[in-house]
């Protein structure tokens, strides 16, 4: 019997697709993020990217992955690179060494069972070749780290990080400037950070937020200073705030700067959107408490004040409940575009949810493209060139498994095709996880706490 459990009832199922790249801002992823940089998949989120040199994922001559999620994850916004786990398509296809575009995957490998695999982030935080998998588990308020075993199509659970009440949604990015991805995660009343030396993570450092509860988290250098900041959403049901913890090179400061605003979703992404070299934020907005709701997303263009963190805010009205976002260059003009997954349907009511591409023009403005119906109860999307045709595709988790909407390089998406009949999936991330040139897909089966990897074959 089809399980139509709504993702938002599973502690706001998130897919952070952040495939870390040390010269790109995080996507958090999330997700990816994710364009899962981070996903969904930091890339990402945090990963999902564009060829814009400071967006939250990276450029690659090979296949494209998600960030978050989003999405890659650095936070300096310096430059793009040629990381094999990048989330950007170059538009010139070599079909990944194959004679024609191919969309084919082996049967899934299961690497974790138990708990609740609500968010998935990809980032190389332990130094072994290839991205590791970071699982957000709200049932136990913890993060679980699966280490990539030398790109040999194998993962091992190596660490569990307890977070405290309501903790489960991570962010990935370079807080120290050493080119290694570090880790952050919000809880009910604060934020944890862990520093990576390339082989292991430090003990966690906890900072209390000014307001609670906390919500989405991102690591990004929005102030234009030497080090990245940790940005946390707080009071999501009471108007919303962003609290910016300043980077100090070995962690973050204890006193955040509070930026007011109505943010009410758990996913933020970071990308350079307006060509000024400063990392900007993309924040979905859903006003579910209001009698007259105006759902949408806000683009916060950084003005580079490392003391006050000034933003110019552009607001866009979307379809109902823009729960998941990812980034990528869908029309191949080198500007960051945004993919929005709407979670507007009620389970079993016969109304399908949709995804929508918003094309960026390099100024921070976004132009909506037609919505494309997908299925019931969407989670967070990821972005990557899964069929190796040189154009980024959208990958979406849903109550009926995972769907793909193929891109053609113009900004348009083809009708949704079911990619994996995996049940109720709350998270999906895309990245190059083994030694071939093709992108693989990580799926979080949220109710069962199962992590599956579908390797391209």
> pLDDT (tens digit, 9 = 90+) per residue, 274-309?
999 999 999 887 765 554 456 888 899 999 888 888
Cα distances from 111 to residues 118, 373, 451, in angstroms, run: 15, 31, 6
Tell me how crowded residue 363 is: count the other CB atoms within 10 A of its CB. Answer: 13
CA distance 268 to 282: 6
Mean of the per-residue pLDDT values for the chain?
77
Helix (H/G/I), strand (E/B), else coil: 376: coil
**Short-list 120, 133, 141, 145, CA closest to 201:** 145
Cα distances from 44 to residues 56, 295, 307, 425, in angstroms, run: 6, 23, 26, 19
Judged against a pLDDT cut of 80, whether residue 70 lies above it is answered with: no
Please give the average per-residue pLDDT across 385-402, as a whole number: 94
Find the radius of gyration of the CA atoms of the chain.
18
Q: Among the residues of 221-351, which ranges form H helices?
A: none
Please give the average per-residue pLDDT across 413-434, as a whole number: 92
Please, which residues bridge with residue 146 across strands? 133, 157
Helix (H/G/I), strand (E/B), else coil: 126: coil
Higher local confidence (pLDDT), 344 or 380: 380
Higher local confidence (pLDDT), 32 or 441: 441
Structure tokens at 252: 């973050």
Least confident of 203-207, 240-244, 258-262, 403-407: 258-262
The pTM of this model reads 0.81
CA distance 148 to 168: 21
């Amino acid at each position: 019997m089809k399980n139509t459990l709504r993702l938002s009832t599973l502690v706001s199922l998130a897919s952070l697709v952040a495939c870390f790249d040390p010269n790109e801002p995080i996507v958090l992823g999330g997700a990816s993020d994710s364009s899962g940089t981070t996903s969904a998949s930091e890339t990402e989120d945090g990963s999902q990217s564009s060829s814009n040199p400071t967006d939250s994922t990276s450029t690659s001559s090979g296949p494209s992955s998600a960030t978050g999620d989003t999405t890659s994850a650095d936070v300096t916004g310096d430059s793009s690179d040629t990381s094999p786990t990048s989330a950007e398509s170059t538009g010139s296809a070599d079909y990944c060494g194959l004679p024609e575009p191919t969309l084919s995957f082996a049967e899934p490998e299961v690497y974790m069972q138990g708990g609740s695999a609500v968010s998935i982030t990809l980032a190389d935080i332990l130094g072994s070749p290839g991205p590791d998998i970071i699982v957000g588990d709200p049932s136990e308020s913890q993060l679980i780290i699966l280490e990539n075993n030398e790109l040999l199509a194998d993962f091992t659970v190596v660490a569990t990080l307890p977070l405290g009440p309501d903790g489960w949604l991570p962010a990935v990015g370079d807080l120290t400037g050493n080119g290694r991805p570090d880790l952050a995660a919000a809880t009910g009343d604060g934020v944890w950070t862990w520093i990576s030396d390339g082989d292991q993570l430090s003990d966690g450092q906890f900072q209390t937020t000014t307001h609670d509860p906390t919500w989405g988290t991102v690591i990004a250098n929005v102030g234009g200073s030497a080090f990245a900041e940790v940005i946390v959403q707080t009071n999501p049901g009471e108007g919303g705030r962003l609290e910016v913890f300043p980077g100090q090179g070995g962690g973050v400061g204890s006193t955040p700067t509070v930026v007011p605003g109505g943010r009410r979703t758990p996913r933020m992404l970071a990308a350079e959107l307006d060509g000024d070299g400063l990392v900007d934020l993309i924040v979905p907005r859903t006003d579910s408490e209001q009698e007259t709701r105006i759902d949408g997303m806000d683009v916060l263009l950084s003005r580079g004040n490392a003391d006050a963190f000034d933003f110019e805010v552009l607001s866009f009205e979307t379809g109902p409940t823009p729960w998941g976002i990812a980034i990528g260059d869908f029309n191949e003009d080198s500007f960051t575009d945004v993919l929005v997954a709407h979670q507007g349907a009620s389970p079993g009511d016969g109304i399908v949810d949709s995804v929508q591409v918003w094309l960026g023009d390099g100024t921070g403005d976004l132009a909506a493209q037609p919505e494309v119906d997908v299925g019931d109860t969407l989670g967070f999307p990821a972005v990557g060139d899964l069929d190796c045709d040189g154009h980024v595709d959208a990958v979406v988790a849903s109550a009926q498994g995972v769907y793909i909407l193929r891109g053609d390089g113009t900004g348009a998406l083809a009708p949704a095709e079911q990619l994996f009949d995996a049940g109720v999936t709350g998270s999906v991330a895309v990245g190059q996880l083994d030694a071939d040139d093709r992108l693989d897909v990580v799926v979080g089966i949220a109710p069962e706490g199962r992590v599956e990897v579908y390797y391209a074959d």
